[in-house]
Amino acid sequence: MYTFSGKLKTVSIVLMILGLLGIGYGFLSAPSTTEEVAAMQHADDGHHGGGEAHAASESHDDASSHGEASGEHSAEEEQSHLEHLLHQAQNRPWTAFFIAAFFFLMISVCVLVFYAIQWAAQAGWSIVLFRIMEGISAYILPGSILLFIFLLLSAMHFNHMYVWMGEAAADDEIIQGKSWWLNIPGWLIRSFIYLGTYNLFRYLLRRNSLALDESGDVKLYKKSFNMSVTFIVIFGIFELFMSFDWLMSLDPHWYSQLYSFYVFASVLVSAITTIALVTIYLKNKGVIPFVNNSHIHDLAKYMFGFSIFWTYFFFDQFMLQWYANIPEEAAYFYPRLIGSYQLPFISMLVMNFVFPILILMDSDFKRIPWFVVAAGFVILTGHFIDIFQLISPATVGDSWSIGIPELSSLAFFLGLFIFVVFSAIAKAPLHAKGNPFMKESELYHY
């Protein structure tokens, strides 16, 4: 049995407390009037740090120059411009919260997907990792609650994240054409169904796994197999719509047929990386002696493989849309490739593709725990930045920054994730003795 160490528990609690304080500061420090935004523009000293004041000033100067040249820049347009900048600045703490909430929730959901795949494939090598996967998937419940609260507050117009919910959408033909799907009641109901389904399957699979330990009844194994197959199919369908509802609809004028697969690839490789990091931590603690270097090697192999899988969808989506140069498609990549998000866009590409290629291609490196840990931290950082650049351009525009709101949200959800996951791991024996393939898994060597 693993015991949740006092030091790790303290670290997780401290992260949550500091995160909550920072999140509160982010909301309190956000501007509340257009006058404050205007003052921020005038106070800007030209410092180019990607900060909120610089971006607001840059956008304001561009709009002013255009208005003076055309002679049509009225006071009403100036006020409208300031209101737009105000909404973006107010969205910043909400965006930071959403990015971290989505990232950690989807890690736990995709760990459950990977776990179900092992059941459905009747894999032998991974049985020794089942309790670890079950522990990580425990975060689905608190993560779902927090994300749904965010979605509910968004639907109640506490923020301006989803433009299709605002009054301006009434005059937008494109948004109106999608209103049969993008409407608040349907959006919330679908979100509740997604989250409820993930929690239900996690509960059933975990319960069956523990019951199998007690009885060893092969009927329970077959039941878990059937549930896993069902869950994989349902998740595959839900993920298509979930990515559109929560992420792509942030910019309802843009669309991509590959978007859902791209998002899935990003969070799946993050999930497998998390399994590897937790496994290595527990192995160093000496509580999973039945896990050998071959298991670590296979996890690293999946990290490498799904990094290439993510790159495949990244290239497909980017190449087709940027090369075609259709305005409603290329507009999505303009701020990311050559605009103010160029740095995070290029950085996450290097961390998510170039780095895994260089580090994890060699089979011997996959057996070295500290090497896998180093690669894992880079991959997780890269995919967190990936989620950041998927969301921020549509919600905060050029007013993005990496500061207290962003770091605090990351700290809070990381602390909560650590606390929930390791608390769950400590609640059951790490040896899934009732599984008929356990011996094969213990003897596994690659």
pLDDT of the residue at 48: 45
Distance, CA of 141 to CA of 383 (rounded, Å): 22
The alpha carbon of 196 is separated from its chain's Cα centroid by a whole number of angstroms, namely 18
Confidence of residue 52 (pLDDT cuts 50, 70, 90): very low
Compute the distance between CA of residue 206 and CA of residue 174 in angstroms, rounded to an integer.
44
d(CA 183, CA 169): 11
Buried b (16+ CB within 10 A) or exposed e, 115-126: bbebbbeebbbb
Please report whether residue 193 resides in a domain.
yes
Look at the chain and report how many structural domains it folds into: 1
User: What tokens were used for 159?
Assistant: 């923020």
pLDDT at 57: 42
- For tokens 């032998």, what's the residue? 124
Flag whether pLDDT at 221 surpasses 80. Answer: yes
Orientation of helix 327-337 relative to helix 369-395, angle to 10°:
120
| Residue type, position 393, single letter | P
- Report yes or no on 207 lying in a domain: yes
Mean pLDDT of 81-98: 88
For residue 87, give its domain range. Answer: 6-30+74-442
- What is the average pLDDT across 41-70? 48
Q: pLDDT tens-digit profile of 280-323?
A: 999 999 999 999 999 999 999 999 999 999 999 999 888 888 88
According to the model, what pLDDT value does residue 63 have?
43
Q: What is the DSSP letter of 168?
A: G
The Cα 71–Cα 91 span in angstroms is: 31
> Backbone phi, then psi, for 426, in 5-degree steps?
-75, -10
Question: How many Cα atoms are found within 13 Å in the side-chain-facing hemisphere of 106?
Answer: 25
Q: What pLDDT shows up at residue 43? A: 66
| Extended strands (E) in 107-196 | none
For 93-116, what is the mean pLDDT? 97
Q: Which residue has the tokens 């389904």?
A: 197
- Token look-up 């057996």 returns 367
Q: Would 51 be classed as within a structural domain?
A: no
What's the token pair of residue 221? 């194994």
In a domain, 59, yes or no: no
pLDDT score of 72 more than 60: no
Pair of tokens at residue 21? 């304080």
Residue 48 lies in a domain: no
Chain segment 189-210, per-residue pLDDT in tens? 999 999 999 999 999 999 999 9
Q: Is 68 a domain residue?
A: no
pLDDT, the chain, mean: 88
- Residue 339's contacts (CB-CB under 8 Å, 6 or more residues apart) are 393, 398
Helix or strand (DSSP H, E) at 307 = helix 293-324
In a domain, 42, yes or no: no
Q: Is residue 355 part of a domain?
A: yes
How many CB atoms are closer than 10 A to CB 180?
8
Q: In the structure encoding, which two tokens stand for residue 150, read together?
A: 């965010």
- For residue 189, how many other CB atoms are within 10 A of its CB? 11
Task: Give the per-residue pLDDT at 398.
Answer: 86
Distance of CA 65 to the CA centre of its chain: 38
